[in-house]
Each structure stands twice: as C-alpha cells, then as structure tokens.
Amino acid sequence: MKLVVSVSPHIHRDISIPRIIYTVIIALVPAFIWSIYSFGIRALWLVIVSCGVACLTEAIVQILIKKRRTYFDGSAILTGMLLAFNLPVKVPLWIPIVGVIFAIVVAKQAFGGLGYNFINPALAGRAFIVASWPQAMSSLWSAPKFGAISDMNVITNVAPLGVLKMNSGNPAIVSMLNSGESIKNLFLGVYGGTLGEISCLFLLLGGIFLIAMKYIDWRIPLSYIGTVGILMQLFYMFGITPVNGIFHILAGGLFLGAFFMATDYVTSPITREGRWVFGVGCGVITVLIRLWGAQPEGVCFAILIMNCFVPLIERALKPKIFKQIKILS
C-alpha cells in the first residue's frame, strides 16, 4: 500500500474544473437545441462562432503572456456560449466576435484568467455590446417560427419585457400578457427573445440537473428568482406593475441568469449566508431596473453589480472560527 504524507483535505471527489464546466455546458444543451429549433440554423452558427473565437482569443492571450495554457478547460467555451445565448438571433456575426474578445481579454485575462475575474466574463461582454451598439441589440429581435407571444399585429417588439415596457398603459395588451396562455408560452419558450433565454422549461431542467449533481448551489437561483417573483407580485398587487410575478419570473433572461450566470463559482460568494444575500441583491436590482430603469431587462446588470459586491459580502459574513473571541476595543 502506498502511503502519501500530505496536508488535509485527504478525501477528494474526483471532479475537476474541466469536468464541472463541461457538465454545465451539457446542462445548457437542451435550451440550445430548443433555440436552434425555434430560431433556425443561424442560432447554431452564432454559438459556434462565439465559442470558437473565445477559445482562440484565450489561446492567443495565454501564449502571448506565457501563461499556463488552459484554453480547452471549457471555461472559454462556456463564456462564448453564454454570451451568444444573450444575443438576439439576427445580430451581425461581428458582434459576438467583438463581445467575446472583450469578455476574454478585458474581463478575464487582464485580471489573471479563470479564478481571478471579479465579474462574469460573458455578462461583461454583453454589457460592452449593449453599451456600444444598443441599436443592434434592441432592434434586431426576431420571432421564433411559432410567431410572437400573440398574433396581435400592434406588437412590433416580440420580446415580452420590451412589449411590456412599451405598452404598459394598454389594457388589451396587458391582459393578454397576464393570461394563462401567455404564461404557458413563456414557460415553454414559444416566444421571441435572445437565443438562450426563451425556454424556461429546458433551462429549469438544466439547472435542476446541475443542482442534483451538486455542481451549483440551489440557494442562489432560489433566492434570486424568489425575490423577483415575490417583489413583483407585491408590486402587482399595489398596481405599480401591470403584470403578475409569474410573468416576471418567466419572461426575459431570469432563468438563464439565475441558474447559469449568478452561480458562477468565481464571481459568487462562497458562504451559504453570502449566497442568500447575493441572490436577494440580484433580485432587488433586477426588479428596480425592470420597473424604473431605461431598459426592459435588468438581469445582466443586476448580476454584474452584485459581482462587484461579492468581496464585501464575503468579508461581512465571514464565518466565526471555533472559540474565536471578539475583543472589544
């Protein structure tokens, strides 16, 4: 028997970074297939280009600055995939390319690579694109093959949160958005939106799979989605938003963000209490942006803002070491 003298921990789970990341990618595949099915083959090209450029950029940067080469550990592919999932299907191909280069070079490698980035690279890339080319990101929505959320011709913007932002005073449209039919379509993903966000059902399946594998913590998605749902339902009761909480949690990128972006190991807190705070904070900011912000959707910026608060959360909620005595000065 071979004995090895080493410091603890002595019992390892046979998981590694590539294995975790590729599992996350597998968990995204159902939603990906659904988006190819509903938006057509262009969705596939967008994701392939985005992932390819991500790997290539990571490889170039790591070779140039002579760092350990880890471009096939999946993190670059995941960044590319998540970024492409945040784009409407009709964007020109150079947009994901530029966004991915920004995400990898500035948000990830400039801070030291995987494990050192303080914000989620994919979301940083998306924020960069939204700030630079808002037209391309907001006007190129396309309806999936099933048509928009309803066949009402007055709606030119097919993303439900955009419809809500523009028509919140129109009772016919609001009651249509609130109907059970609309909720069902939102849950199944039969409406327009960005590539990966539309099917709550498949995102939920992927998320539950990851939680069951214990690769992500259930606290962040639950507290995030729960906060948005409860707050929006309260605001609905007080008449501040015309649609109910269930519409708000199903519409837009909340499921994608809560299960696959807010749970990023590097940019979320490590303590349980911290994760609750993080999720609730994301939820509150999302609600604020959706109701009072200029943009219809706030998931991206909510997660980015809370990413910046993570070090503070960790410091505030540092667990007490056994028998630690607090010395009053």
Query: Residues in the site for another protein, rule: CB under 8 A?
Result: 98, 106, 110, 128, 131-136
Of 48 and 110, nearer to another protein (C-beta) is 110
Contacts of 200 (CB under 8 A, 6+ apart): 186, 187, 188, 189, 250, 255
Residue 110 CB coordination number (10 Å) = 13
DSSP state of 110: G
Task: Name the nearest CA neighbour of 164 among 221, 230, 235, 226.
Answer: 235
Of 62 and 227, nearer to another protein (C-beta) is 62
Residue 204 CB coordination number (10 Å) = 18
Of 27 and 101, nearer to another protein (C-beta) is 101
User: How far apart (Å, rounded) are the C-alpha atoms in residues 290 and 308?
Assistant: 20
Asked if 321 and 289 count as a contact pair (C-beta separation under 8 A), the reply is no
Of 23 and 120, nearer to another protein (C-beta) is 120
Smallest gap from Cβ 248 to another protein, in A, equals 28
User: How far apart (Å, rounded) are the C-alpha atoms in residues 27 and 218?
Assistant: 15
Asked if 104 and 75 count as a contact pair (C-beta separation under 8 A), the reply is no
Structure tokens at 200: 């709550």
Smallest gap from Cβ 136 to another protein, in A, equals 7
User: How far apart (Å, rounded) are the C-alpha atoms in residues 231 and 233?
Assistant: 5
Of 71 and 128, nearer to another protein (C-beta) is 128
Contacts of 134 (CB under 8 A, 6+ apart): none
Smallest gap from Cβ 102 to another protein, in A, equals 8
Of 129 and 280, nearer to another protein (C-beta) is 129
Of 134 and 319, nearer to another protein (C-beta) is 134
Element (H, E) at 228: helix 219-237
Question: Considering Cα of 283, then 286, then 290, then 296, what sign does the dihedral take?
Answer: negative
Smallest gap from Cβ 132 to another protein, in A, equals 4
Smallest gap from Cβ 156 to another protein, in A, equals 22
CA dist list (Å): 193 to 150, 167, 303: 14, 17, 19
Smallest gap from Cβ 134 to another protein, in A, equals 8
Smallest gap from Cβ 309 to another protein, in A, equals 17
Of 6 and 135, nearer to another protein (C-beta) is 135
Asked if 286 and 228 count as a contact pair (C-beta separation under 8 A), the reply is yes
Smallest gap from Cβ 6 to another protein, in A, equals 36
